[in-house]
Structure 1
């Protein structure tokens, strides 16, 4: 069966061009917290901050220049992991030598690409070596360091810390409060997640944080109060995601949930930071006047959806939505009217703005929000660039190095192409040859290696590499196999690529691949294909699957949304 398709919709790559004014919490932003205590208070904070605009991983380097720059030099990265001087290049591409760091490790929730994966409230630009040393270790205070660059330490924890981990990451004293308030946010915004690693968090109490981590984080937060850096960054993130870190705006809030005021009734008007008052004047909380959104670079034939949360207060009638000026025909919205009640709700109204270019070049338009009883209107500048479909060549995976009984380093050759990232897929089989896990890791364009520290006796590990550019993925590299017999797989398998369509994927290969088997995440065989060929379409229910073929040693991951 042959399928031809022309347009794929991917999550938004949105760029903030310029922040014009402070976006501190407006009056009434925190009023839903007033009069609550204990679990009800934490639940109310969760309900306030969980609905937010979710950006894409590839867009983060567009945002960091606005969220993480030095106060005396807008082009210099504010790096909380080292004192090395790094500078933004002005193009929205990665800074050489730096990583996009999940300060709250993504492996703790299993690494899935969920809302937390790209939440700017815990993602920071990080010195590469420091990020590598930090790995997915919990926060803690180091008694004996194995890594120390003068800002970041990694090593053995002091007694009573680590939550069972023999290694912890300790930030510099000037940033300990920043990390503490980041973890307060994550433990609240994503309190409904199931945690795979429970060094600092748990799945059994409403507080989410473990007792030892509460004690340490509260100490860090008290000793390192909210700084101008944090408040400025909170304002910048608010302009992008339409949510705030309340533990920065309301420094005492953590005390009411985990600290010395736990169990007492909270009132935002009684704490530093405000945002708890009320006003009867109709107004928009998000977006604010002067916001500029850039969808970044998009390949011809693709479209991007960006969700803007429209949150109002005291609106007296429906809001009008209009696109106009310049290349407005390249953009569209899902509605032209937003119901008053939806906009006034605590969740806000998720307005979808789509960029679907039909021609190459730079495009811009203006999104106008009016009526609702507002005085005047709110304008949001839109911009995007449409580029030709990229041509990507397959890279070569190299043998693993630094092999021990429990660890190794995966390697690959640098791509000659302009790329957004590498995709490293690692598959693990148990001693009986049964597939136990398959996960894809996103790497920066300057990375050509990645360490794994979870190898177990008797397991077979395989990995292969692809490149990603503008939503297009290259053919897979050869597969490297690491088992009891050593390292094999420098020769290439038959190339295989999967292109996503609605409800499935289309196979791209140079020759028939033989029998294919598709498994669900429980390891159950859900489909067998006698001979997988080029342009075959595989339609599956929503979910995550693993596909193996007779002529390839690699397992392909299929995600249907």
Structure 2
């Protein structure tokens, strides 16, 4: 442990800090509980509150957030005590000397520190006195502060960002919330909880006029959304008040004239909000697991959701008895598979307490042979995007084992359910296996602007455009992209100021269908005329009568028709009114492309 204070010195600090609660400060609270106690505390901590202004925070940090003996610190080197970079059990990755290091610009961690509103100032429009209330505004590293953005605090399942001290941004596994959350390290979870509880007490009469940020409630009591309250109560209990918190509370009182009552009297938390219930009940087993849409290297899975007394937070997918991935929904696409291979899958549900359900039924699926067309390879319905917000920021989420990043984007617009809306930015996938044959997406211009198109890039090369307008959502498919191997998909909005909502993105995997018209191989054939006429397709080649099955696909990989023994009596296929476009005729061992005009 880094704390090297002698026990008598620590005891002296604790006695001294506890003694600094002003006599009679909490008069009138005896016998009160619930909303009545919360309102009484609001009156107490509002009286005497001095607003020193937003810039005054820098001066306040000289005494409230220093790592030294007086503050019962860690290194005790008098640097800024930053909850996003402090390593309580080892060497800090970096540190800031006061007053130098104030932001400023940064490109990574360790560049500068700024003022982190634990309750985002966007929720109260940066109004006073909230914007300068030192009781919930901490000096933190600028980069990590920026990554936290305005996301609520919660338990992270899959992290999209991890700071050098272990603080994480990612998909929530806190019961009752599946959006993006920020999770501090264990040593500061109680600190965060008590700061937020202070905020919803001090400003309880104003909460109805604040934004929620998927954390605040819209009324004075309880003041928080249920999921966030439960998470904060758990953190409050798991990380008790420390000597460092007590010292900061005293210094904040000297600076600002009011205190955090939940540091002075931790028991008030249970007296107002109760205590969290320990969850020991496992979810029910997922049911009806089924496989579908096989390609040469992917298989899609779907199942019926589990139930839980608190809430299911995710599903572990097992492939041949080995954990493949964890998802939050009830569908997934398993990629990176071998052609012509049978795989066995089962799924296990988990809740936030880590309770695991029994396994689902086992479902088997077989991939197609190499070169066969496949159906849908990947989908993104934007159901896992961060919580609804009109603020433009970098948005990150994970769905179907793919991480998406949208820059200069908001999350409050819809098309067919949730959609991501990009302004002067782009939407980018993480690396996806299986390649890409075609891509389909729906787009719509929001809030006025100029009709235009999104640019679509695969591995940094533009492969097509997606038109959009304000009148109605437009769904567009780009065919013949034909990129194999690992890929990234990027949709770019090239028109400055246009705000474009994006929804229902899907793509098909790359297929290596042969399309040669002539060959010496006796299994091959020629289609004529090509383009075909009068909805009749003729084939010329050897041993046609030995072909047992023919299939017609469009270039997205969708099967249009299957014909048994197609050339047993003639070399003609009736296309039955097939619409204009490009198609593939596949037989037992050869494929050829044809066009319908």
TM-score using structure 2 length: 0.41
Q: Larger Cα Rg: Structure 1 or Structure 2?
A: 2
TM-score using structure 1 length: 0.43
